[in-house]
Structure 1
Amino acid sequence: MEQQKLPNAALILILSIGSLLCCCIGGIGVIPAIIALVLANKSINIYKAEPELYDNYNSIKTGRIIAIVGIVLNIAYLIYTIVVIAIYGIDGIMEQYQMQEGYQF
């Protein structure tokens, strides 16, 4: 019997990698990472029901690991951003940015 591919393997990898690329945009990469994690868990459950039917289980596991790393990095960056805003405030951050760029108002 020919083995089948688990559903959404490519989508899981794309969303997981996309979450890593979006981690420095204010934590918005959490959304694709959570979607990838949910899809990966569904595919893993399908695989565990009948493992002899499927052959791309490793790509699902890889996507799941990358999604977990993406979630952790995005949450860490979001916490970092909140702490920086709490310490310096928006005005302090803008003032520091303006001094680095050489703007004078």
Structure 2
Amino acid sequence: MEKQTLQNSTLILIFGIFSILTCCCYGVLGLIMGITALVLAKKATDTYRENPELYKGFQNVRTGKVLAIVGIILSVLYIIFMVGAISYFGWNNLQDEAFMQEKIQELLGR
């Protein structure tokens, strides 16, 4: 009997990759992609564990799950960074290029 490919195994891998690539889109898009990949990976893992001899493509699921976890961590760190920057500098000051250059010069000690 020929093995079937696990349902959504390629999609999980793609979402895991995109969760890392989109983590700097204010963190939200990477977070959504990562969580979606984890939910799909949980379902695929449960299906695989029931009958592992019937399915192939579990490596894609595991790789996608790891990438999704990394993407979620990066997205959360970016969200924390943005909230910290907005609370420290203020939204209007972040959009003022001259002010930001001055603050960068102060931080560099020049």
Partner in structure 2 of residue 69 of structure 1: 70
Partner in structure 2 of residue 103 of structure 1: none
Partner in structure 2 of residue 57 of structure 1: 58
Instruction: Look up the SS of the partner of 1:23 in the other structure.
Output: coil
TM-score (norm 2): 0.84
Give 5+ residue unaligned stretches, structure 1. Answer: 101-105
**Aligned equivalents of 1:56, 1:11: Cα separation in 2:** 11
Partner in structure 1 of residue 26 of structure 2: 26
Query: Could you tell me the percent identity over the aligned residues?
Result: 42
One-letter amino acid matched to 1:32: M
Partner in structure 2 of residue 79 of structure 1: 80
Deviations 1:22-78 (A, max 9, x none): 111101211111111100110000000011111211110000000011111000000
Partner in structure 2 of residue 14 of structure 1: 14
**Aligned equivalents of 2:98, 2:36: Cα separation in 1:** 38
Moved over 6 A (4+): none
**Aligned equivalents of 1:14, 1:45: Cα separation in 2:** 20
**Mean Cα deviation higher: 20-29 or 73-82:** 20-29
**Aligned equivalents of 1:58, 1:34: Cα separation in 2:** 19
**Aligned equivalents of 2:49, 2:37: Cα separation in 1:** 18
**Aligned equivalents of 2:88, 2:9: Cα separation in 1:** 42
**Aligned equivalents of 1:72, 1:13: Cα separation in 2:** 17
Deviation at 1:98, TM superposition (A): 4.0
TM-score (norm 1): 0.88
> Cα RMSD (Å) of the superposition?
1.2
